[in-house]
Homo-oligomer: A and B are copies of this chain.
Amino acid sequence: MAMGRPARIDRDAVLDAALALADARGLDAVTMAAVAAQLDVTPMALYRHIGRKADLLDGLVERLLDELPSTTAAGRGDPAGELARLGEAVRATARRHPAVFPLLLQRPATTPGALRARDAVCEALRRVGVPDTRVARCERLISTAVLGFAASEAGGRFRNHPRAVVDDDFARLLELLASLVETEATPA
């Protein structure tokens, strides 16, 4: 039934353009006009595909969440290994999208992408032996600490520390979280 002319852009194309702009020139550069220009379209054309600019930003956050690791069939690894994998994936996303990343801490963890990322961590925790009653809290603590670190790094809070120092800090954080997991995984 759908008739009229063929679409030149869609929601995905809009988010692609906006994310590229944010990565290259920062969040302030993500303007309706600039995004539209990348797509060879007028700013008004965007409104058919995204409700308003706030939705566009939400869409960018969702894009980052989709980059985070979902459940992999990784062997029944040790906690430290699982954590290192997760942690580096989060940092890699933060480095790819430093302008958007800090927004992750400002949205409730209830979007599809957030649930997916959360479940991946929860599943890893269960696989590693954390009892069901402890999994949720454990996940919140780990995600918050790792996100907080990565957001700090992406936001530039460690700007004047050498990379090696930041890497060592992160390694120490992961050790600390591994000790948390081990405590929780050990039957009282």
Q: Which residues of A does B touch, CB under 8 Å?
A: 102, 105-110, 137, 140-141, 144-145, 147-149, 151-152, 155-160, 165, 168-169, 172-173, 176, 179-180
Return chain B residues, CB-CB under 8 Å to A152: 105, 144, 147-148
| Shortest distance from the beta carbon of A150 to any chain B beta carbon, whole Å | 9
Chain B neighbourhood of A110, CB < 8 A = 160
12 of the cross-chain contacts (CB-CB < 8 Å) are A108-B156, A108-B158, A140-B169, A141-B173, A141-B176, A144-B157, A145-B145, A148-B152, A151-B151, A176-B176, A176-B179, A176-B180
Mostly, the A contact residues are: helix
Q: Quickly give the copy total for this chain.
A: 2
How far, in whole Å, are A159 and B106 apart by their CA atoms in the complex? 10
Q: How far is the CA of A180 from the CA of B151 in the complex (A)?
A: 22
Given A144-B148, A148-B149, also A169-B137 (CB < 8 A): yes
Closest 6 CB pairs of A and B: A148-B148, A106-B155, A108-B159, A105-B155, A105-B152, A105-B151
Task: List, in ascending order, chain B residues with CB within 8 A of A102's CB.
Answer: 102, 105-106
Q: Give the residue name and chain of the B residue nearest to A176 (CB).
A: B180
A168 to B157, CA, bound (A): 27
CA distance A147 to B158 in the complex (A): 14
Residue in A149, A157, A165, A172 with the greatest tally of chain B CB atoms within 10 Å: A157
> In the assembly, what is the distance between CA of A108 and CA of B157, in Å?
4
